[in-house]
Amino acid sequence: MLFLYNWPSSIMGLFVVTLTLLLALGGYAFFRRTVRVRPAPEEQSMTIAMVSVITTINSLLIAFAAINVWGAYADAAHNVDMEATTAGELARDLAAFGEAPAAQAVDALHTYLDGVVHVEWPRMQQEAAGDTQSELRFDTLFNEVNEIQPRDERQRALLGEVLKRVNELAKLRDQRLLSLDVAMPATLWAVMLIASAISFLLLYTLPGTMFNVALISAWALTLGLAFFFVLAVDRPFAGRVSVGPQPLAHVVEAMNARAQTVIGANHDTR
């Protein structure tokens, strides 16, 4: 189903809703042609009551699924915010050293974050996979940080914070990549689809009037919209409706601005 996430969200939504509507109306037409059911008025009343119960249960299942996937989406977004915050703090701590090894680590951090934003993120959205080169860039950053040799107690304490933030950044990166495989359990999808099918089967026993066709169409459109929402946010980093790299991009912009300020200050002193 990953190919759906490569479509614009409007196209994806139109596809899911239209497919649900066509399946519902096609099933109704097939049922009316092949099954000769003529329920009595009291049986129709019982059918409507049973449909009401099933649709209520199905609505609760869909609501549970929506809350579940939205929670996973929010957790993924929070994780990216934490990753950006940690990267920004790491950049400031490294800049406080003011020596060549720390400057090289800053460059490695900038290269890594820029690769995550422009290379790894598109792969995450389109292929649900990380980028090998970004992993290597992070290893380079880790190695550069370990080359820093503190000269006094202040730098020693600062290096401890730097190492702590690098390890935290590694943990947050791992959590982000693990979230690529997060998806709603197939069992929950199966239960929702089966409950939806049962509700339609009961509606199919009603006479083929325009009112009943409109009733089935309304229920199909409602289910299609609900399925689209659940599907769209089911994978937090896949597709157009996904967690974006904006927090990390802001850190890259801040690092660029800081570098320009330093270059300007050095030019003025000359």
Query: What is the residue-averaged pLDDT of the chain?
Result: 88
The rounded distance, in Å, linking the Cα atoms of 25 and 19 is: 10
Among 90, 139, 121, residue whose Cα is nearest residue 258: 90
> Under a CB-based contact definition with an 8 Å cutoff, are residues 82 and 172 in contact?
yes
Closest CA to 109 of 38, 162, 59: 162
Amino acid identity at 267 = H
Q: Which residue, 150, 44, 47, 259, is CA-closest to 267?
A: 259
**Average pLDDT for residues 67-75, to the nearest whole number?**
91
- Please determine, for residue 269, whether its predicted confidence score (pLDDT) is greater than 60: no
Using one digit for the tens of pLDDT, what is the confidence trace for 209-241? 899 899 999 999 999 999 999 998 888 998 878
pLDDT band at 261 (very low <50, low <70, confident <90, very high): low
Top-confidence residue, 44 or 130? 130
3-state SS, residue 151: coil
Indicate the pLDDT class of residue 24, thresholds 50, 70 and 90: very high
Q: Tell me the H-state helices in 98-181.
A: 100-115, 121-127, 132-146, 153-178
Query: How many other CB atoms sit within 10 Å of the CB of residue 255?
Result: 21
pTM of the model: 0.82
In the chain, where are the structural domains located?
2-269
